[in-house]
């Protein structure tokens, strides 16, 4: 479970949340995202949540990104008021989207379009995701969504049958724990081979001793060293791709 505790990460413990919830519509259904703005001219980061839905965790990360000078929109992949607490419910919600990739893409594109409407323009944009959100981020890359970068933290890495990265239009950053038993190093190596063969621009980094969900503050899986190092590399990736 995600807890909004900034253990070992001073910047997260001292910040205030200044964003607001935003209800938007995708294909006739309501979704509730989170918008945190710093200025009209700031680049945009779009966050995709983990399998427990949009929580305080994404809001904390949004606040961290605000302090770095980025506008942030956290999309909602499940629906307004759907914030699953039980594992079975989380598994069912994510499983439905894994089975229906067109719906997954439509929700991602809908959230992205709404973020642009809030920002008032299509400026420099990077999509990032955690765990399930990382898998959605890679789906967006394979779909050829027009942004300036994709980044995944301990995300799902397997490519569905019949898909590839030939349409990917921006660099991909994969940040992964070597001790992840859910998304294995075999998956990591398979993706690396696939991206290289398809000439998709990418960088992939692993962190020793880091299990699945190593960035989740306050959990028994949190690894401060891997969290700080991956966030630093992501910060550099943002700066490079949103200039």
pLDDT of 4 above 50: no
pLDDT of 87 above 50: yes
In this prediction the pTM is 0.92
pLDDT of 202 above 50: yes
Note the pLDDT of residue 13: 37
Please report which helix (H) or strand (E) contains residue 56, including its range. Answer: helix 56-67
- The per-residue pLDDT of the chain, averaged, comes to 93
Note the pLDDT of residue 168: 97
Assess if residue 26 is contained within a domain: no
Assess if residue 1 is contained within a domain: no
Assess if residue 49 is contained within a domain: yes
Weakest-pLDDT range from 17-26, 34-43, 147-156, 217-226: 17-26
Name the band, by pLDDT with cuts 50, 70 and 90, for residue 6.
Answer: very low
Name the band, by pLDDT with cuts 50, 70 and 90, for residue 121.
Answer: confident
% of the chain surpassing 90 pLDDT? 91
The domain in which residue 161 lies consists of 31-241
Please report which helix (H) or strand (E) contains residue 150, including its range. Answer: strand 149-153
pLDDT of 14 above 90: no
* Look-up of token digits 């008032």: 120
Tens digits of residue pLDDT in 156-181: 999 999 999 999 999 999 999 999 99
Assess if residue 15 is contained within a domain: no
Q: Which residue, among 150, 158, 167, 165, has the nearest Cα to 198 in the 3D structure? A: 165
Assess if residue 85 is contained within a domain: yes
Q: Which residue, among 84, 64, 75, has the nearest Cα to 15 in the 3D structure? A: 64
Q: Give the whole-angstrom CA distance, residue 111 versus residue 108.
A: 5
Q: Give the whole-angstrom CA distance, residue 156 versus residue 154.
A: 7
CATH of residue 69's domain is 3.40.50.1820
Q: Give the whole-angstrom CA distance, residue 65 versus residue 11.
A: 11
Q: Give the whole-angstrom CA distance, residue 60 versus residue 176.
A: 20
Note the pLDDT of residue 2: 37
* Look-up of token digits 């891997």: 226
Note the pLDDT of residue 12: 41
pLDDT of 47 above 50: yes
Once rounded to an integer, what is the mean pLDDT over residues 4-10?
Answer: 34
Assess if residue 19 is contained within a domain: no
pLDDT of 28 above 90: yes
Tally of domains within the chain: 1
Q: What is the token pair recorded at 60?
A: 């904390």
């Amino acid at each position: 479970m995600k807890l909004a505790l900034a253990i070992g990460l001073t910047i997260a413990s001292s910040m205030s949340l200044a964003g607001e919830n935003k209800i938007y519509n995708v294909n006739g259904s309501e979704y509730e995202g989170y918008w945190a703005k710093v200025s009209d001219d700031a680049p945009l980061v779009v966050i995709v949540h983990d399998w427990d839905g949009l929580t305080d965790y994404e809001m904390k990360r949004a606040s961290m990104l605000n302090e770095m000078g980025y506008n942030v929109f956290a999309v909602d992949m499940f629906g307004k008021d759907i914030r699953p607490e039980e594992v079975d419910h989380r598994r069912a919600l994510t499983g439905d989207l894994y089975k229906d990739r067109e719906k997954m893409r439509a929700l991602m594109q809908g959230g992205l379009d709404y973020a642009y409407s809030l920002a008032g323009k299509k400026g420099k944009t990077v999509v990032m995701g955690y765990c399930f959100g990382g898998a959605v981020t890679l789906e967006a890359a394979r779909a050829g969504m027009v942004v300036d970068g994709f980044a995944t933290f301990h995300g799902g890495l397997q490519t569905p049958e019949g898909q590839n990265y030939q349409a990917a239009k921006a660099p991909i950053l994969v940040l992964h724990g070597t001790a992840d038993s859910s998304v294995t190093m075999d998956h990591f190596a398979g993706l690396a081979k696939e991206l290289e063969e398809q000439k998709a621009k990418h960088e992939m980094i692993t962190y020793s001793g880091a299990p699945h969900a190593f960035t989740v503050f306050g959990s028994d899986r949190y690894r401060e060293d891997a969290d700080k190092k991956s966030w630093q590399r992501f910060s550099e990736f943002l700066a490079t791709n949103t200039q």
